Amino acid sequence: MLYRQNFHSAQSTREGTRTKQDIQNVVAQINKQVRSYQRARQAILQLEPNQEIGQKYQDIQPQDLAVSKDVTEENWFGQGTSKMAWFWMMDGEQGQLNAEKGGLMEEFYRINWLKARARRDRWKEELSLVRHEMVWAILWFEFQKDIWEKRALQLLEPGTKVYANKQIVLWTDFSKKAQLMFKGKQMDCI
């Protein structure tokens, strides 16, 4: 949030430098907390080398700490591949109690679910549009071919008739190539 609120809106180099320093301080605090967690995790695993505990309290990887592009960039390409880190899906000490009361974690899960559903819906819509555009492209090529066929019948001069026939062959070729390329990919279209 610091990056988006302060760094992007910084009016001067001085403000930008201060914001960078604030961001570095937050990153240092996060790294300190991660090191503390890693030490505690190692101690627990040495005291009780239980497979279940090792799976519950996983090692924190750098990708788990990456800032979601949803926060820093509103219209980020490729949001469909983003995943929540494992620790956001853990129930804490009072996780169940918090969820029953409609707490922050439940809201967090709800928001992530809604974002995922919106991405899925956008993808479905995009897929439908692409399939329809395939049909529209073929229809456009056929339309152009028909126009040139009508023109060829009306033209009397030999040079213009040859040009019209060349255009008919060109648009027919476009149509055939498009049909060949799109074959089997237009499931829900006309």
The percentage of residues in the chain with a pLDDT greater than 70, rounded to a whole number, is: 68
Q: What is the mean pLDDT of the chain?
A: 78
Sole residue written with tokens 């853990």: 90
pLDDT at position 103 is: 67
Number of separate domains in the chain: 2
Provide the Cα torsion 72, 105, 78, 24; round to 10°. 30
Whole-number Å distance between alpha carbons of 48 and 34: 21
Can you read off the two tokens belonging to residue 128? Answer: 């439908």
Report yes or no on 51 lying in a domain. yes
Q: Which domain holds residue 22?
A: 2-69
Lowest model confidence (mean pLDDT) among 42-51, 70-79, 106-115, 158-167:
70-79
Report yes or no on 88 lying in a domain. no
Sequence-distant (≥ 6) Cβ neighbours of residue 22 within 8 angstroms? 2, 6
Q: What is the mean pLDDT of residues 106-131?
A: 88
Report yes or no on 28 lying in a domain. yes
Higher pLDDT, 31 or 188: 31
Higher pLDDT, 186 or 64: 64
- Closest alpha carbon to 133 in 178, 177, 174: 178
Identify the burial level of 48 via C-beta atoms within 10 angstroms of its C-beta, where 0-12 means exposed, 13-18 middle and 19 or more buried.
exposed
- Checking if the pLDDT of 81 tops 80, the result is no
Report yes or no on 152 lying in a domain. yes
C-alpha gyration radius of the chain: 30
Q: 43: helix, coil or strand?
A: helix
Neighbours of 148 (CB within 10 A): 21
Report for 21-30, 91-100, 164-173: range of highest mean pLDDT: 164-173
pLDDT in tens, 165-184: 999 999 999 999 999 998 88
Report yes or no on 138 lying in a domain. yes
Report yes or no on 161 lying in a domain. yes
Higher pLDDT, 60 or 167: 167
Can you read off the two tokens belonging to residue 116? Answer: 């995922």
Q: Of 46, 69, 92, at which residue does a domain stop?
A: 69
- Checking if the pLDDT of 39 tops 80, the result is yes
Q: Of 69, 87, 118, at which residue does a domain stop?
A: 69
Report yes or no on 159 lying in a domain. yes
Neighbours of 171 (CB within 10 A): 20
pLDDT at position 1 is: 43
Report yes or no on 82 lying in a domain. no
Alpha helices in the chain (DSSP H): 2, 13-47, 51-56, 69-72, 95-100, 104-154, 158-182
pLDDT at position 52 is: 76
Q: Of 69, 93, 114, at which residue does a domain stop?
A: 69
